[in-house]
Structure formats: structure tokens, C-alpha cells
Amino acid sequence: MRIARSIIICIQLFLLLDSLKCKLFASNLREHRHSFYDMMIS
């Protein structure tokens, strides 16, 4: 029972880290796109 709970916690942590990485990647892409547009305009 305890082992199953720890496995579930590990999976949840992994999914949480994965979603955080995706959010960071998306925000980085957004920033790069803005700077790219600024370069095109100027």
C-alpha cells in the first residue's frame, strides 16, 4: 500500500515538472517571437 502511494506521488511530481517545463518553454518561445518581431520592425 505504501509503495503504491509513493509510486503515485513520483508520477504526479514527474507530471508536474513536465508541465512546468512546457510552460517555461512556451514563455521562452513567446519572448523570442516578440524580440524577433522587434528586429523585423526596426
Per-residue pLDDT of 21-42, as tens digits, reads 988 888 888 777 777 677 777 6
Q: List the domain boundaries for the chain.
A: 1-42
Residue-level pLDDT at 15: 96
Q: What is the torsion angle, in degrees rounded to the nearest 10, for the CA atoms of residue 4, residue 6, residue 8 and residue 14?
A: -150
**What DSSP assignment string belongs to 14-34?**
HHHHHHHHHHHHHHHHHHHHH
For 13, list phi and psi in degrees, rounded to 5: -65, -40
Question: CA separation (Å) from 32 to 5, 7, 27, 28, 42?
Answer: 41, 37, 9, 6, 15
Between 26 and 17, residue with greater pLDDT: 17
